[in-house]
């Protein structure tokens, strides 16, 4: 749980930084450009577009990766969820048995004390 919160915090901070860089570079888009050459033809892209495309690619690939891992480990996740549920039920049964034994012991102690008092 703490690990998920840490990753969520880091993700949020990175998102804010990327958003800030995008906003700052949007105003500089005319002067800050990236040129890519393909067989003599040059494509000029603004830095804003390149950063936005890289961010969206990262978000999309992370989503796809998590979906693939989720599908891959779905059986294991369900197995451990059932195992955890069975252990929780067994723990509850053990606790109930322990309480019943404690009540029986208390009853026997009272009966023993009464028997010893009546003997004298």
Domain shared by 41 and 2, yes or no:
yes
83 band by pLDDT with thresholds 50, 70 and 90: very high
Domain shared by 3 and 53, yes or no:
yes
Domain range for 41? 1-72
User: 13 or 45: which carries more pLDDT confidence?
Assistant: 13
For residue 19, count other CB atoms closer than 10 A to its CB. 13
How many helices (H) and strands (E) the chain has is answered by 3, 2
Domain shared by 68 and 9, yes or no:
yes
Domain shared by 94 and 108, yes or no:
yes
Domain shared by 60 and 114, yes or no:
no
Backbone φ and ψ for 19, nearest 5 degrees, come out as: -60, -40
Backbone φ and ψ for 80, nearest 5 degrees, come out as: -70, -30
Full-model pTM: 0.40
Q: Mean pLDDT highest for which of 47-51, 52-56, 82-86?
A: 82-86
Q: Which of 35, 54, 72 is the last residue of a domain?
A: 72
Looking at residue 42, its pLDDT comes to 66
Question: How far is 92 from 94, CA to CA, in rounded Å?
Answer: 5
What SS3 class is residue 42? Answer: strand
Residues 6+ apart with CB under 8 A from 25: 32, 46, 47, 48, 51
For residue 13, CA distances in Å to 7, 8, 60, 61, 112 come to: 10, 9, 18, 19, 68
Looking at residue 92, its pLDDT comes to 87
Domain shared by 56 and 18, yes or no:
yes
Looking at residue 36, its pLDDT comes to 65
Domain shared by 55 and 34, yes or no:
yes
Q: How many domains does the chain divide into?
A: 2
Domain shared by 97 and 112, yes or no:
yes
* The two three-digit tokens of residue 12, written as one number: 């949020």
The pLDDT tens digits of the residues spanning 86-117 come to 988 888 888 888 888 999 999 999 999 988 88
Looking at residue 26, its pLDDT comes to 62
Question: How far is 98 from 91, CA to CA, in rounded Å?
Answer: 10
């Amino acid at each position: 749980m703490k690990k998920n919160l840490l990753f969520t915090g880091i993700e949020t901070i990175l998102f804010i930084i990327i958003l800030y860089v995008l906003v700052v570079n949007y105003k500089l888009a005319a002067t800050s450009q990236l040129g890519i050459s393909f067989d003599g033809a040059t494509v000029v892209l603004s830095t804003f577009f390149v950063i936005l495309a890289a961010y969206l690619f990262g978000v999309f690939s992370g989503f796809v990766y998590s979906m693939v891992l989720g599908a891959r480990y779905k059986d294991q996740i369900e197995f451990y969820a059932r195992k955890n549920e069975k252990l929780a039920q067994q723990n509850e049964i053990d606790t109930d048995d322990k309480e019943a034994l404690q009540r029986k012991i208390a009853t026997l102690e009272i009966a023993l004390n009464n028997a010893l008092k009546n003997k004298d």
